[in-house]
Each structure stands twice: as C-alpha cells, then as structure tokens.
Amino acid sequence: EAGVAQSPRYKIIEKRQSVAFWCNPISGHATLYWYQQILGQGPKLLIQFQNNGVVDDSQLPKDRFSAERLKGVDSTLKIQPAKLEDSAVYLCASSPRGRAYEQYFGPGTRLTVT
C-alpha cells in the first residue's frame, strides 16, 4: 500500500511570493490533515478535512493560507503572500474512516522563506 505522498519536498521562495503544496493521502482515507512544524517544535494542526469538507481550520491564518480538498482525495495548501515566519515543514497526514487514531504522515515539504 502506497503511503501519503507530498510534493515538492523542498521549496525556497522570497517573502511576499506565493507557494502551493500538494498531498495525496492513502487510498480510501477519509480524513486528511495539514500540520505546520516550525524548527524545534512539534507539529501544529492547520486544517483538517473529512472527505472534502473542513472539520477544523481554527488555527489556519486565513488571511494568507488557504486549502482545498477537491473530490475528497488530493489536497493543496497555498500560502499567499508568504512571510519569513512561514518557514517550516508542512506535513500532510491521513486517517482511515472510523480509525482516526491511526494517522499516517507523509514525508513533508520543507519551506524556506528568504
């Protein structure tokens, strides 16, 4: 079974530019999460989808971050415009239906904003 896929793995942009990350969860997983992990800290939830609906986006900086999950499968996370403090690893995770205690993480996208 293929794991959670993310791309790109690394991205370097200048502040005020925009960037997008892509996540393909494990096939059949209904729940998808985006986490932000700043260097030296634990991951922090940005947004959670159940199928293609948003369950929790309370910690998403909505003035600059947006995310969508069309058709309840792939998801994209966008930052526009980026700030220096957005430099972090962006982790995508997914859970199977009815087994939310199982979260499988992708390799992450390391973003550097200069």
Distances (CA, A) of 5 to 15, 80, 81, 84: 26, 23, 25, 26
Q: Which of 23, 65, 77, 95 binds another protein (CB under 8 A)?
A: 95
Distances (CA, A) of 40 to 21, 47, 72: 22, 21, 32
Least CB distance from residue 6 to another protein, whole Å? 10
Query: Is 54 one of the binding residues for another protein (CB under 8 A)?
Result: no
Q: Which of 16, 27, 56, 114 binds another protein (CB under 8 A)?
A: 56
Give the nearer residue to another protein in terms of CB position, either 55 or 84: 55
Burial label, 64 (beta-carbon count in 10 A; 0-12, 13-18, 19+):
middle
Size of the site for another protein (CB under 8 A): 30
Q: Which of 50, 52, 66, 76 binds another protein (CB under 8 A)?
A: 50
Query: Is 104 one of the binding residues for another protein (CB under 8 A)?
Result: yes
Beta bridge partners of 7: 22
Q: d(Cα 23, Cα 9) in Å, to the nearest integer? A: 11
Q: Interface residues with another protein (CB under 8 A)?
A: 30-31, 33, 35, 40-45, 48, 50, 55-56, 89, 91, 93, 95, 98-108, 110
